[in-house]
Amino acid sequence: MTCSQPTLEAEFHATPHYCLRELGIIDTDSRGGKNYQLFRQALARLAAVTYQCDRFYDPIRREHADVSFGFLSYR
């Protein structure tokens, strides 16, 4: 969904309805119901995931480093 946007940016903001529609889970006439609840629960689980890499290469410093990061922020 992020790459299909007209201008690529580091952040992606969208409503649950937009995401579920783009993923083909609901159609334009559907209200979603249970799908919205499942979507929110899935986002909350993904937001809790932290990735760790002990061999991240920093091209600016030209060295490997230990890093930790998350891909998703959800409130």
Confidence of residue 66 (pLDDT cuts 50, 70, 90): very high
Determine the average pLDDT of the residues in 35-55.
90
Greatest Cα pair distance, the chain, in angstroms, is 52
* Number of other CB atoms surrounding residue 20 within 10 Å: 19
Beta bridge partners of 39: none
- CA dist., res. 52 & res. 68, Å (int): 4
pLDDT, tens digit (0-9, with 9 covering 90-100), for 4-30: 777 877 777 888 888 898 888 887 777
For residue 73, pLDDT over 80 is answered with: no
Confidence of residue 47 (pLDDT cuts 50, 70, 90): confident
**Domain range annotation of the chain:** 16-69
